[in-house]
Structure 1
Amino acid sequence: MPDVSLSGRALVAGSAQGELLHADLGLSFWGGIDPFSGEVIDRHHPLSGAIVSDRVLAIPSGRGSCTGSSVMLELILNGHAPAALLLEQVDDILTLGVLIAEQMFGRSIPVVALGREAFAALREARHVRVSGNRVDGFASAPAALDGAPATVVAEAPCLTLSAQDREMLDGIHGRAAQVAMGIIVRMAELQGANTLLDITQAHIDGCIYTGPACLRFARQLVEWGAQVKVPTTLNAISVDKRRWREQGIDAAFGEPAAALGDAYLEMGAQVSFTCAPYLLDSAPRLGEQIVWAESNAVVYANSVLGARTLKYPDYLDICIALTGRAPLSGCHLPGQRHASLRIELPTLEGLDDAFYPLLGYHVGLLCGSEIPVICGLEHAQPDLDDLKAFGAAFATTSAAPMFHIAGVTPEAPSAERALGGQAPARLLRVSAMDLLESWWELNSAEEPRVDLVSLGNPHFSFSECARLAALCAGRRKHADTALVITCGRTIHERARDAGHVATLEAFGAQFVTDTCWCMLGEPVIPPAARTLMTNSGKYAHYAPGLVGRRVHFGSLAECVDAACSGRASGRLPAWLQLGEATEEPAHV
């Protein structure tokens, strides 16, 4: 007999059992799990070092990258996936990866959403059996499954489709559109959408190479004649497409990574290759209904531009681009864009550009999947680069699709408007000491030496190139320290025409286009490098797991100083020195 018997919502039906691997913190599969071994590589996560393969993984939800669906597909197809996935709440990104494996490759694992109470009740179990909606927990390993089919209580269909939707579903518009529409319908039903809506543009994150499975997926769509129906941009891919050979990238990686980009170009996508599509001339306007993947881009589009998109998983993004139709749910609906969490900040003086990524990282940890409104920056006047840095770090540690900053972002002229006139479900106060704790979390390096300064995660903007050039003018980097900037082709051309590239190359900087730090490894990262420095909260979080290097985090000016001296100063910014001396940790 089970020690605990629970009932949940089967997102993907199936039967499995195994040892339970449980955590109360969400996990990004991309940057958090090695797709080729099943090891948890997020060095900030309580499961760091654990192997998920053949175990029943229980996490509240995913978080961070939209590429989690691609990693899930790789794990399933290469045999390193969990036996089953148990969630506290529905997670589109992880579920979609399983659905793609099931729909296109005939492989699957059960996925069940349990709800808060049932998820908490499972915590003490050692082994778990999953069968359809039912989840049983045991203190010791139960008998083997008897092979009986999983039973699932079917939900009443509620999705209304247009005549053209049905034509695509029936295959009249080709096999690629048929499969894409089938996946969209399945996700719409999981999301509780009543209908689909027309979208004006798409940004594809599935062009990041995670392994053979993602290339199989894209090539299959090409073979089926897939062509996008709306203007479509591509995220940064996994290599600098024009220069990866001269950069010394192994052909075993470079060739399939470049081929994946080519597959999406064959489907009609534009040659954009940037993780910051909001820097392009095609950036959407306030209220525009779009489909973007790439976590930082989604958060920026919703929060800063006021466009409307969900945090779309890899693969669902291209399915929607092929049909021009998306589920009408979540942040596509005005009422789903309100904040439910209010966060109040302390008064801090002398803020520099390191404040915003640090704050985004910390706020994301507090939010989970809740949309926050941040109060206390009404007079700080963060610029677009500050909001870009905040959003990227926020998207790394939270599962929320957007944020509001009272008096700053377009849908938050006041906190009350951001909350939709309702009282917040939670009120949190952040102290300077709280921020200091997150500062030390991001500063994982134990020695002052800096071998590499990595800038451009997300991709550098033109204004960031100009600011960096001003900081570097007339100076020269240390001979033993590399400084590398990633940016999109469009921004690189503008910066070159303005003379900023020449100034930075005279300093000793290198530029890499088409790809971004979250995809870069050796030899762009010098093999002998032990520590790096960055001004990106996102990369400071991911780098220890992705490339095995310790990190110094700081402002852009501190990064330039470190590039010149070869050492990080270790200085706290003035606004944290004050906090360290006078603030006490908040107890919320």
Structure 2
Amino acid sequence: MAEPAGDGFQGEWTCRCLVGGHALGPVIHSDTPLSFWGGVDSFTGTVIDRHHPLSGRSLAGAVLAIPSGRGSCSGSGVMLELILNGHGPAALVLERPDDILTLGVFVAEEMFGRSIPVVVAGPDRFPLLAQTAWVEVAGDTLRPLSGPDDAVGAPAGTAVPPGAPPDIALTEADRALLDGAGGRAAQVAMRIILRMATFHRAPALIDVRQAHIDGCLYTGPGGLRFAQQLRDWGGQVRIPTSLNAISVDRRNWRDQGVDATVGEPASALADAYVAMGAQPTFTCAPYQLESAPGRGDQIVWAESNAVVYANSVLGARTMKYPDYLDLCVALTGRAPLSGCHVEGNRRATVRIDVPFRADFDESVYPLLGYHAGMVAGDRIPVIVGLEKAGPTTDDLKAFGAAFATTSSAPMFHILGVTPEATALDAVLEDAAPTHTVSLADLGERWADLGIDLVSLGNPHFSETEFERLAALCRGRTKHPDVQLVITCGRATQEKVAARGIIAELERFGARTVTDVCWCTISEPLFPAATRVVMTNSAKYAHYGPGLCGRPVRFGSLKECVEAACTGQAGGRPPAWVPG
């Protein structure tokens, strides 16, 4: 075999094999984690995250080497689409295991007979791939190549054979589902759950009380095929199940001018989930529903901001469930005993000290969350320094959504604020490292994230946010060339409409849309003539440029209203940001 180009690794490596198979291709390497949802176009395989080093690169046919995924749980849906449409990577080489991306491959293999190999190289070897031209993946083996003619071959089988993994304790009811007693949909769902349980090295499965489904978001025909197939196989949810925001306003998309090529499959996807017994809540903020779980409740939630909020603020227990695994658990009522379901896995492994000033406004929380997520990576942090700040639930929502955008961790703690962080030693591991955040760091984040469109409600607007917005708009007039659009859940809209707040905002010129969220809105609901977007969501400020193709500026809610009234994207940082 010829020597590899560059100064990459020599010989062969033995890796942890998550999904078996054989592939080879040119290496595309980055030391920055990548969210496939909002970061990779599900139809072309091109990286659209404008903040990522691989922005603009096509992943099709390459061996993608990244530390892990990050951000949205919908990355599994994008991975499934890319495998089925042939525009995905030939193989995935990770520095550390990533369940969201791997789950997309599991579903493709279990339900559609399509797959790519997925292996974990480990932190010592992974950086060497940056200097390697081509790689062959065969089972658990990585081989460097100088080109495709040097391939050895010898593909391997799947990492997890069908049937019950021997190391997982199953009940008689579990085995009955696996044997098909509950129908084919529950049987396939149980197979996928057990593959993920093996991934996490879970010793057993547990009962869960409720589910929130993120996979109802339309990423392409593969996700629709997944849901309709399970529906046609007789799938019915066994636990109370809510649905995330979808890709269209299910009741009004035709009147809004949405093209039928988008509206019909997106609506059909929602219909499939409702037919399986899920409730048409269509909100990315299920913690605002009356059915929100309590502290200690074992649940299965997907949607990254919802997962982080449930674990951190409510004290419920859920992993950061990938799309499609959420439905599998809902169809069986059983989940792997791993991740944040386990008490010991909820402790912080990094301390982040942040400054506190009495003049902080609400814009500090998304900036802190965004920066804390970058520092934490895949580690659970405890934030120290906000004990006297008194953040509201909306502040914590904004912090969590931004944190979930830049981190792959399923939760955070804030000392003296979140329910489990009553004392530092109650949540922080011994000898955990400390990172100090400065006001200058937050100023850099402000500059990173920042009009003719004001985007509010990512995650969905709450009742108290509607109250604050109405107060800021009262007595003022929106600029005629600026649109202000708010997304929210149906239940929240009904509450504020009954109080007259929707009518008041409509007089100002604002528009409210349900069922969808800003990460799912496309033209024509997203105004085609938009040049620059302003938002108070650090999450959308990060994903927006890649999703909508426009620059997105970040500001406080007050700044957003000011921009809506003046038509000028002032984007001025608050007084506490260093000049």
TM range (shorter): over 0.9
CA distance 1:174–1:540, change in 2 (3 Å):
same
AA partner of residue 431 (structure 2):
A
Matches within 5 A, 1:128-167: 128-138=135-145, 140-143=146-149, 145=151, 147-150=153-156, 157-167=166-176
Determine the C-alpha separation between the residues in 2 that align with 1:17 and 1:157.
32
Give 2:41's match in structure 1, choosing from 14, 29, 34. Answer: 34
Residue 432 of structure 1 corresponds to which residue in structure 2? 439
Q: Normalization by structure 1: what TM-score?
A: 0.95
**1:533 aligns to 2:539 (yes or no):** no
Q: Is the 8 A contact 1:133 1:151 kept in 2?
A: no
Q: Is the 8 A contact 2:356 2:389 kept in 1?
A: no
**1:498 aligns to 2:502 (yes or no):** no
Determine the C-alpha separation between the residues in 1 that align with 2:358 and 2:143.
53
CA distance 1:153–1:397, change in 2 (3 Å):
closer
Give, in angstroms, the shift of residue 57 of structure 1. Answer: 0.2
Q: Is the 8 A contact 2:294 2:316 kept in 1?
A: yes
Give 1:244's match in structure 2, choosing from 245, 253, 262. Answer: 253
**1:472 aligns to 2:478 (yes or no):** no
**1:7 aligns to 2:8 (yes or no):** no
Instruction: List gaps (5 residues or longer) in structure 1.
Output: 444-449, 581-588
Determine the C-alpha separation between the residues in 1 that align with 2:563 and 2:81.
38
AA partner of residue 473 (structure 2):
C
Matches within 5 A, 1:447-526: 450-526=451-527
AA partner of residue 250 (structure 1):
D
Give 2:23's match in structure 1, choosing from 16, 19, 32. Answer: 16
AA partner of residue 340 (structure 1):
T
Determine the C-alpha separation between the residues in 2 that align with 1:170 and 1:157.
15
What is the RMSD of the two structures over their aligned residues, measured on CA atoms?
A: 1.3
Give, in angstroms, the shift of residue 148 of structure 1. Answer: 2.4
**Deviation per CA, 1:296-337, whole angstroms, max 9, x where unpaired?**
000000000000000000000000000000000010000000
AA partner of residue 423 (structure 1):
A
Determine the C-alpha separation between the residues in 2 that align with 1:559 and 1:172.
55
Residue 52 of structure 1 corresponds to which residue in structure 2? 59
AA partner of residue 197 (structure 2):
A
Give, in angstroms, the shift of residue 551 of structure 1. Answer: 1.2
Determine the C-alpha separation between the residues in 1 that align with 2:277 and 2:527.
36
Residue 334 of structure 2 corresponds to which residue in structure 1? 325
**Deviation per CA, 1:171-228, whole angstroms, max 9, x where unpaired?**
0110001000010011101100000000000000000000000000000001100000
Determine the C-alpha separation between the residues in 2 that align with 1:471 and 1:342.
36
Determine the C-alpha separation between the residues in 1 that align with 2:203 and 2:153.
36
Residue 574 of structure 1 corresponds to which residue in structure 2? 575
Residue 423 of structure 1 corresponds to which residue in structure 2? 431
Determine the C-alpha separation between the residues in 2 that align with 1:253 and 1:523.
11
**1:371 aligns to 2:380 (yes or no):** yes
Q: Normalization by structure 2: what TM-score?
A: 0.97
Determine the C-alpha separation between the residues in 2 that align with 1:517 and 1:252.
19
Matches within 5 A, 1:135-534: 135-138=142-145, 140-143=146-149, 145=151, 147-150=153-156, 157-420=166-429, 422-424=430-432, 426-443=433-450, 450-534=451-535
Determine the C-alpha separation between the residues in 1 that align with 2:409 and 2:566.
39
Give, in angstroms, the shift of residue 542 of structure 1. Answer: 0.6
Secondary structure, aligned partner of 2:125: helix
**1:67 aligns to 2:77 (yes or no):** no
Determine the C-alpha separation between the residues in 1 that align with 2:77 and 2:35.
11
Secondary structure, aligned partner of 1:73: helix
**Deviation per CA, 1:531-575, whole angstroms, max 9, x where unpaired?**
010000000001100000111111001100100000122321011
Secondary structure, aligned partner of 2:512: strand
**1:120 aligns to 2:127 (yes or no):** yes
Q: Is the 8 A contact 1:278 1:297 kept in 2?
A: yes
Identity of aligned residues (%): 62
Secondary structure, aligned partner of 2:130: coil
Q: Is the 8 A contact 1:131 1:151 kept in 2?
A: no
